[in-house]
Structures are given as C-alpha cells and as structure tokens.
Chain A
C-alpha cells in the first residue's frame, strides 16, 4: 500500500501556501470518495503530500447574496440535498446530488470534488450547467471566476492550474416562471453511475405558453459533461407544451458523442439521450408553471 503525508491546513492562507509550496508533489483531497479508491486501485499515482481541505469550514458554506446562490466547494451532496435554500431556489441541484451514489458517499463527497474530478458522468455538473454556474477559483496569487462550461477540457482534465482550487460555485436563484429538472438513467435506482443524465432549465413567457429561454446539459455522452446547444436553439421560442419531438430527438443526437463502455453501448446512449432531454424539459416546464405555488422549481 502506498503511503502519503496528510497535511491539514488551518486556514485558506495556509492552504494556498501549502499548494504553492508542494506543487506537483501535492494533491487536494476533500471528501476523498474518488481519490482514495483511485489510490487503492492504483489508478492514480499516490503523491507525496495529500492536502486535506476538510478543516477549512468556510469552504463548506451554502449562502445567498441577493439573487445569487453560493455553494462552497466543500459542501457535501447530503448538505446540498438537505439545504432549504437549494431546495427552494435551485431544486435541480438537490435533485441531482440526491441521485449520486449512496447515503454514505453523499455524506462525504463534495460538490467541489464532483466538479474537480471532471468525470463525464458527474451528476451535479449537468444541473450546475443549466443553472449557468460560475466557478470561483483561488490560489496564492489571487482569484478568478470562470464559467463552469469552460472548465472541462476532457475526462479528468480541466483548466485548473497548479496551486489553484475551486472555492465555490455560484449561480442565480430561479425566479418566477423559471424551472429546472435533472433526470438520470442508471443500471439501478441507487448507487449507480449514470449511463446518461440530462438537465434542463426553462424560462417561460408570463402566460406560460412559450419557452423564452432554455439551457440543456447532459452527462456521460461526451468526454465531458456538456451543454446541448443546438437543441437549446431549437426549443427557444417554441411552445412549452408542444415542441417538435422528432426534431428535438434528431438535434440531440447531433450534439453528443457517446462511447461504448462497460455500462452501455454508444447506440443505446444515442437512443435514450433525447428521451432524457425531453423528460427533463417537460419536468422543467411543469415546475416553471407551478413556481411560487409551493412546488419545486
């Protein structure tokens, strides 16, 4: 078994000093649910230093600044699922986080880790993509904000620089006439990796008849989770309860590049992707219509 030195920085400043000092000899661990099994199975080289974020509690905060919601990178999936703020104003994120793995994993795994690990199957990511989330990155040299959409470059690959980490993810709270939804197809109901996942956000016209704005995203259908932009273009301005199903299915197929793996063939992913997008859109529309009436948004 490979051993490493665990570093527990007491503050953000100390953390950035450690990250800068250790350079490539150090790796950040948050919940550890991806990293430790990877060490154990020797899928990831064990670094000399593992820098533990868990004691920096300010990175776990979930809060609201006017209409913006901030979710600290260390917020666990369980905390997000149980957050009244998220449930009330960005339910789609709670919905996605609730479908990740098991209770035990959700109690440990963090949203920052789910993003940073950059798995094409990360369930929180399509939800965050349709919320048009931004990442707040920090390092010893300062901070920068980037759109989540621009963050992923490949499976396990991101634009994160050495010495840099995700501090929080931010997005706008959903307002009146807006709704969003996440749906997932796995091999069973829980403790399952997505074969395909899909999320949709819609903003309806005040009379709820027209989709004024829409964002769609999917997981497990390309090297990274991604927005489905041609389908967005297709739906934007269409009737909320009567969009062209056939065309939507054709368009979604064009936007994705699924692969065959141990969970599914590429063909099956192609078949069901549009089904999932369609279901997410329908659910998002329904939620937008009941927004502010006690239903999930």
Chain B
C-alpha cells in the first residue's frame, strides 16, 4: 500500500497554520476566567543562602492581596519528580521536586514565596513587601570544584554528585598503545536557554465538581499527578488542559507554573493566572547543561580508530530534575556513531548553585556530539585524511555494535548522510569574498540521536478515534502540540488509513480528563509513540469497516481497500460502496465506530550504571550537517553562508514539517555554536534578556538545504523515525570545523565568539 499513499508524504499545511499566522490562536496567556486573581513569584536574589525568616505580614496587609504562600503552606513541598513514565525507575533517576525554597536557597531566581492578588500591580507590589532574612552562603559555581569532596554542599546530601555512569568495552590502554596518532583535548559547552517565544503561563481554577483545573503551556500534561501529590489530592481531582505551545524545546518538560497556580487557586477558591516575564523565564526555567568534556582518541596511520576515552562532567545546577536522564543519553552517545573496539566512557553530573539543568532539544547529545565530532575532525587532519574519509572508515553500519553494546540490527544510514551532506555543500565552488580580510571554509559532522524514551521507562501511548455518521472522523489523543505538528501528523495517519480527506479529520489534544494519555511531547517520541497508537486504532476501525463492506460486496475484507471516501474491491475498483453508507450500516447494526489503542515501546530493565551495555533506547536517527562559513580575520566575526542538513528520517509524513524541523534544528544549534550562552558570575545570570542573550535573527540565518533520505527502517508509522531533536545535533561541530577550514583555528569552548576566534588567530 505504500506506493499509493494519499495523505502520507504530502506537503499539507497543518490545520492550525492559518489561525497561527493570522494571530487568532489562543495561547495560555490569552485565556482568562471571571473573578480571576493574578499571581506573582518572589524569587531568591542569592544563589546560595540560608533563609533565616520570612515575614509576609506587610504583603498580606496590602489591599487586594488574597494569598501569600511560603514553603510551610505547601502540603507536600518535597516530592519526587515524575515525567509520565509508566514504570517507577527510582534510584538516581527520580529526584527531589521542591515547590518553594525551604531552609536554604540553591540558585538565584528560586521561588521563595507566592502571591495572588486582585490585580497584577497589587501582586507585584506585594512581592516586594515580603521580607526575607537571608544569610548568604559561599555556594559553589564551578562543577569541577563541586565534585571535590570538601566542596560546598548545594543540597542536603553529603556529596554534590548526583549521577555517575560508566560504559566500557575492550581495553583502551591497549588501544592507545596500538595508535600511531593520539589527540587529547578538553571541550567546554555553556548553559544555554531554550528561548521559546512564549514564556511560561497558566491559569488554574476549581470547577463546579471541585476539580482543580489547570490550563497551561506544557509539554507534559501528566504533571497533573505531580500537582495532586503536592496538594495531597486524588489524581482524578486534578485536571491539566494543555494549550498550543509557543515553543517548548524541553524547557516546558519540567513543571513550570502548575503547582504555584494550583496552590493559590486551592487556597483562595478563585481562578489564578500566572505568566512569567521574559527575564523571569530566563531565571526560573531549566537550561541545557554546561559540560566539561575531556576526550582522548587514537588511530592507526590508515585512519582506523583504535581507542576513545571520554570523561564527562555535567553541571546539573541547583536541583537534579532530569540531569541523570540527560547524562544517560550522553553516556550512550559519548563515543559517537562509530565502531570502535576500545572505549571508556565516564560521565558524572554534580549540583552547583547555578541555574538548574534539565531537558533541552538534544537531551545530552549535542554536548558530547560537539566534543566527539571535533576530536574526530582534528584526528583526521593529523592523519592527513579528509573529515569525510575518517567518518567513512569508522562509522557504524548495520550489524555493528555501538560502544554501549547495542547491536544495530536495523538499517544505518551511515556514512550515506555524511557523504550526501558533504557533496551538497561542495557542489558550488567556494565563494571568494570581495573583502580580503574574510576567509571561507567548509566543515562537516555526523551524529546519532535517539527517538523515543529510554526503554527502561516502559513508555506507552494511547489514542482514540471515532468515526462520525457523516463520514468525518474525531481523534482524541493527549498529545501536547509544541508547534511541530504533533497533532497534525496523527490526523494524516487517520486520513490515510480511513480513506478520508485530511479536512474531515478533527483532533482534540492535551486534556488529562478527556483525551487518552499519550505521554510527554519530549524525547522526539510523539510520532513514534502516539503515531503508532493512532495507527493501531485506525487499523482496527478500518478492519471493521472493510469487514462490513465485504459482506455487502460479496468479497473478503482482504480483497478491499479504502480511498477517497469509498470502499472498493482492489482488483475491480468500480465495485465500491461510499464509506458513509458502510458507516451507516455499522451504526444501525451496533458495530462499534470508535476504538482506543495503546502502543508500548520495547521494555528493558534499568541498565548496570557502572557499565551501561545493551539496549537503552528504542532506535536512533542518523544525520549529518555540513556548513560553509566566512570568517573575518580582523574582527573574528563568523558568517554562516550555507548549511546542508541530511537525515535518514525513515519516512517523510509531511515534507513541510520535516524540513521545518531540519531548518529549525540547524539554526537552533547554530546559535549554540556561535553566540548563545548564559553568562554567569558566581551564580548570577548577567544576560537574562533577549538584548544580551544572543540568538540568531532571520538575517543571521543562512539558507538551509534539507536532504531527507527515506529508508523506511524506523519504528514509527510507515517506517518513520523521529527528527525533532536529532535535527540540531551535529550543526555546532560542523560550523566549528568550517571555521578551522577557513582560518586554521579550532574552538573547543562554545560559543565560538569573535573574541575567542580573534584571540586564537593572534596566539
């Protein structure tokens, strides 16, 4: 059936595109409720301090103030983080979730108290009247210091180290002794922000059944369970309704405003809205972790890699959140998509008094990919082969075993993606800039990134489809839509399977009370997980409809097909029935015209953390980036002239969305390569605004050529893989490699600012 797909693979605009571009879509902040109060959060001004006392009397006395809450008012202030996983994994993976600071603050911007008032101005005023008596503590701001036994302790434990994972294979010392060339470097990447356009926002109220209802911009509606725990309520008394997101990128994977507005609504009995300012958003939500990565790699003269050793240190900031999970991704991806006999990977994550690290597009992969790809390119140069050649010689292929012991028994699009990206960037001769201070260079990198959650989380998703009597179709699926078309892809699958036009499929998403739970929109998992659940449900309904039509047409169901709202005999297409007529037969005869299906990912046990081996993820997406840059040798400025992004996406469901992810991913981490970093001075963020946190603008974004390969070898519907996160994985090392090609300078400390480049040029 794959040859005659009607909806899959077509560049259909999404159902929500028009409302978005015309400004009519309601985001979380656009919703209000009658009698609504406004909330404001008091945040710590210290990165590390003891809270001696909090006096809320003056704030409470302010006219219009309806509630002032501190840690002592939170029924269960300390709970354990959950992220919608089907199975408790415990251990180091599920960590403390603290709603409001108690005893001591751990980072600047940590929530200390909450206010709800009749007006926003009153709430802002009241926050200023809360008197907190702090005793500043020394704190620890450098993760290399934080791992030392005598360091300042960020939390209540006697060590700052929250996770330590290792993975090894063969004998690295033997491998290095066999090498003709060895390269050893330390790479550093900074904390970076997600910079979604829509800051965190939500409104909570108690409905007429007494259900605490939260309408919020979130990637994880399953946090209703976490909120229920904080308040000590039954889970079915908390409902989360997710709005369409103005971007998430992992930053709305942790709880943001949910507990705050829930507590205030519960306390006051009134609806409560809270929207962060941009500055507050920068301070309050997670960051992509800062990493220090020490790499050593050896190879024979012919370019065959004999050993790789990676020691990785992740700065998890003030609270663990998803740091251990992120570190597990890094552990699996640290040695890259290469077949190397001797591997030693050692990864640690430690608390500091910096902003907390958690999920950010790529989830621990872009950091290690930058280090690994950078050292591979340097190794190639030392040996005297091209960046492409060294990758062709060493990359994994189908049947090989990854460093972490997972056998790649599915198709592996390496080195094809690298070859195609490199050929495409070299199709045109290098531009010769008119300005002689500018030099042009080209570089490349490859990468692997998982889609779907870690298999020991036992991931599941559900979707519900109902066929209406007029032949239209209603889908219900608790998928949060981040703007990537997570909902629209499900509609395409239903349209395909039930033979109806896309315009006749309507979807309801993201409501814990009314849509089947589909799990988080994270981990590049929704097309894979909810796509498969939806496909499963659609095929059950399709089979019912075909079976009923078969009786009418005197054939077997296997001889029938559906397309264009007709059920027809595949061999004699003229013998057909209108779909609507078959639906009416079913309806009249009591055949169920709805179905809910669940899809389960492969399940494994928690791996041995002292030697992570075997399957940790369902599958990988393989890709490559190539970049062309112009470097100004007098100022160090870099202009990215061209980017090629090449991925095996398994199957393109919608070319518009797929290319959108590939272009967006390229630009997302182009900023990581060149301009983006949270600038910290002893735990204080110096650039919590879009003025000084520098992301690329439309003028900085070059043309991105997207090349999609369709192996149909993915685990998703129709052989699709995931593309959302992988799309950003390898652009940073490709740009850094291109800078080297242009001016002979290798930047090992992101971002590659003009200042660093100029200093290296002058060194």
Contact = CB atoms under 8 A, between A and B. Distances in A.
B120 A193 contact: no
A249 to B, nearest CB: 10
B699 A189 contact: yes
Contacts of B755: 264-265, 268
A268 B120 CA distance: 43
Contacts of B696: 188
Contact of B758 (A187, A193, A268): A268
B754 A268 contact: yes
B686 A262 contact: yes
B409 interface: no
B687 to A, nearest CB: 5
Given A189-B699, A262-B686, A1 B675 contact: no
Contacts of A157: none
A236 to B, nearest CB: 24
Q: Give the size range of B's interface with the partner.
A: 20 to 34
B694 A272 contact: no
B630 to A, nearest CB: 13
B279 interface: yes
Contact of A188 (B121, B279, B697): B697
A25 interface: no
A275 interface: yes
A5 interface: no
Given A1-B121, A265-B755, A268-B758, A188 B675 contact: yes
A1 B697 contact: no
B577 to A, nearest CB: 57
Interface in A248-297: 262-265, 268, 271-272, 275-276
Interface in A1-30: 1, 3
Contacts of B563: none
Contacts of A265: 755
Given A1-B120, A262-B679, A272 B634 contact: yes
Interface in B682-702: 686-687, 690-692, 694, 696-700
A268 B634 CA distance: 11
A209 interface: no
Contacts of B637: 185
A41 B279 contact: yes
Given A1-B124, A262-B679, A272 B635 contact: yes
Interface string A185-221: 1011111110000000000000000000000000000
Contact of B692 (A3, A190, A263): A263
Contacts of A3: 121
A187 B635 contact: no
B700 A189 contact: yes
B279 A190 contact: no
Nearest to B695: A188
B620 to A, nearest CB: 33
B697 A271 contact: no
Contacts of B686: 262
B745 to A, nearest CB: 15
A41 B699 CA distance: 28
A191 B697 CA distance: 8
B692 A185 contact: no
B64 to A, nearest CB: 13
Nearest to B635: A272
A190 B697 contact: yes
Nearest to B762: A271
Contact of B687 (A188, A190, A262, A275): A262
Given A1-B124, A189-B700, A265-B755, A275 B694 contact: no
Given A188-B696, A275-B634, 7 more contacts: A1-B120, A185-B637, A188-B694, A189-B697, A191-B690, A193-B691, A262-B679
Interface of A: 1, 3, 41, 185, 187-193, 262-265, 268, 271-272, 275-276
- What 3 A-B pairs are tightest by C-beta distance, nearest first? A189-B699, A268-B755, A187-B694
Interface of B: 120-121, 124, 279, 634-637, 675, 679, 686-687, 690-692, 694, 696-700, 753-755, 758-759, 762
27 contacts: A1-B120, A1-B121, A41-B279, A187-B675, A187-B694, A188-B675, A188-B696, A188-B697, A188-B700, A189-B699, A189-B700, A190-B697, A190-B698, A190-B699, A262-B687, A262-B692, A263-B692, A265-B755, A268-B758, A268-B759, A271-B758, A272-B634, A272-B635, A272-B636, A272-B754, A272-B758, A275-B635
